[in-house]
Structure 1
Amino acid sequence: MLRLAVILLLLANAGYRAWSQGLLRPWGLAPEAQTEPQRMHQQIRPETLQILPPGPGTTAPTPTAQPVAASTASGQTPDASAECLRAGVFDEQQADALRTAAAGLPSGSWTLEPSLMPGRWMVYMGRFDDQDALDKKRTELRARKVDFDRAGGPWEPGLSLGRFSSEEAARRELQNLSSKGVRSARVIRERPESIGYTLRLPAVTDALRPQLAALRSALAGKTWRNCD
């Protein structure tokens, strides 16, 4: 019985395959054809179909106009005249003054960006007892063709024979000056390593520009520069 069932199943599959592929069409056994001619015959009175022009008050669809400029995250179109400005570097105390002065500016219009300020070393001569001693040393250095500058800050009255970003570089210069007859200079650390701050305004518009006057005193004499 099992063998007979297998034979009948094979015959049924072969018959279905022959029917589905149209091999039995001469005997009137085949699936209905779905070709375009068949569908054309299924149309009902195609000659009555008419294409009418647009009626009064109707217009052809037009593409949706795209915005000229993309909107910002706040939903406002960016100002083409806006520019990025920065000023600095400022120390911690100056940064606190800037935070207070900039509090009245629009939210998100400014940032104080921290950065590491390396220490600075100076080849230094001083302090001198009086102006005469200072002038005498200047004359001596000119005769030896050694460049110098004011030491500035707490190192006055004194002279700087060079400023360097590392102590090693400053000591090399001191050794070089010794070969020129400079004896009383020494290396000092003018400024320790610290955190500095840069004030950055990424989009200064014509509307924002007049408000920058409120920052003038807190800038401590530093000027605005372009971000790039």
Structure 2
Amino acid sequence: MKLRLLVLALFLANVFYALWAQGALAAWGLQPKAVHEPQWLAQQLQPQALALRQDSKLRQQAQRLNPTQCLLSPLLDTALAQKMEALAASNLPAGSWQSLPINTPGQWMLYMGRYPNEAALAKKRQELERLRISPIEAAPTEYQPGLSLGYFDNAEQAQAALSQMQARGVRNAQIVTLKAAVQGVHIRIDQATEAIRLELAKMRPVLQAQEFAPCS
């Protein structure tokens, strides 16, 4: 008898708990208290606050995989420059390259020397003064002991001056190139990607075994 009462009491207790937990007894003021966890709520992700960002490591990796480099062609003469410009226009991205004309004048000197000593140099200066040759100047340090009879911007002027000196009795004068003239065209690519470098490799036969080099 006692066992039956115990079983019945447990059954009724379970039924009561189930009704209480589900809020079925709220009308009689019997209901579980709402559980609030503000700390847990604060830790929840808020989708509206999320923003897409590019990882700097990914950018660096992309740059390593596809780096760019400034490249400069060798100095090209007019004919070769025209061929390379046509190839660049056809095979390289628009705006990725530019032609840089180079026109640096040279310098030539009408020179007499080197003399064995200062005495020989002084004697030659006196001979030139008797011939009324002007100007007579000391040659640059690397050409001492010697004399300069003038500096010229092109080889033709220097040759004409030499002919005049010889006509006036000057012997053993010679033309020395102090700085050669530089004329031609460079093709410059400021940001050469791997794809551009592959296209440049195809142009090597036109460059006659020359290659683009890093910009200095």
Q: State whether TM-score is above 0.5.
A: no
Calculate the TM-score normalised by the size of structure 1.
Answer: 0.39
Q: Which has the larger radius of gyration?
A: 2
